[in-house]
Amino acid sequence: MPTVNFRVVGMYFGRNQPQDENGQPDPKAIVVEVEDNPSVFQVMKAVAQKVRDEQPIGVDLFGFSPSNPGSGEDLTSIFINHTQPPKGELPTGLYVLTDNAATNPFSTFQYYIYDDNFEQVNKDGKFIPFSNKPNQEIRNNYTVIIRQVNICSGPINNARVMARAEIAANNIAGAQPA
């Protein structure tokens, strides 16, 4: 069974690579065994089971929704409970990221797949829901990274926001406001 490294950016969970700078296993890396050619959902399910069964350093809960997605469904939220301060300085407790398709800009999740040399392999720009198998096979020693991004769905038609944008642009350019 292949092993896959996992990380969630912005939630202080996992590492980019499973080894430290000396090539030793990083104790905060999240490495799971998965079936051949898994979907991102299958990787995340293995991560949730590992956290439940083994409770890696500083975390006792990893969850996400939908927890049983149908074909074509995408990730809508991630939950991580830190029992030790993440990064050594932030408070312990439940950290949550959720998508929000009802706002502009809207928040959504993206995933990136890296090979064992940490070169991104899913660079075709195609959106594949996390419940479906990606176009690029997730192989042994690959890394899956999840991050939340904001995407504008159109212009912002708000005079207050436009005034703030003009002030910021003038300050950056060194111009005096009119």
| Bridge partners for 82 per DSSP | 59, 93
Is 68 contained in some domain?
Answer: yes
Q: Does the residue 163 lie in any domain?
A: no
Residue 126 forms part of a structural domain: yes
Query: What's the confidence (pLDDT) of residue 38?
Result: 94
Residue 97 vs residues 9, 78, 90, 119, 133: alpha-carbon distances, Å: 10, 5, 16, 26, 23
Q: Is residue 125 part of a domain?
A: yes
Q: Kindly report the pTM of this predicted structure.
A: 0.83
Distance spanning both ends of the chain, measured CA to CA: 65
The encoded tokens of residue 156 equal 């912002």
Between CA 34 and CA 3 the distance in angstroms is: 6
Total number of domains in the chain: 1
What pLDDT is stored for residue 175 in this prediction? 59
User: Do the domain assignments include residue 166?
Assistant: no
- Phi and psi, residue 47, nearest 5°: -65, -45
- 170, part of any domain: no
Q: Are the beta carbons of 47 and 6 closer than 8 angstroms?
A: yes
Using DSSP bridges, classify how beta strands 142-151 and 106-114 pair: parallel, antiparallel or unpaired: antiparallel
Buried (b) or exposed (e) across 1-17, using 16+ Cβ within 10 A? ebebbbbbbebbbbbeb
**Which single residue is written with the structure tokens 């392999």?**
121
- Please give the Cα distance from 58 to 39 (Å, whole number): 26
Range of the domain at 128: 3-152
**pLDDT confidence of residue 82:** 93
Q: What is the DSSP letter of 160?
A: H
- 167 in a structural domain: no
Q: Is there a domain that residue 159 lies in?
A: no
pLDDT in tens, the chain (178 residues): 899 999 999 898 887 777 777 877 777 789 999 999 999 999 999 999 999 998 887 899 999 998 888 888 889 999 999 998 887 789 999 999 999 888 888 888 999 999 989 999 988 766 777 888 888 889 999 999 999 999 888 888 788 888 888 888 888 877 555 5
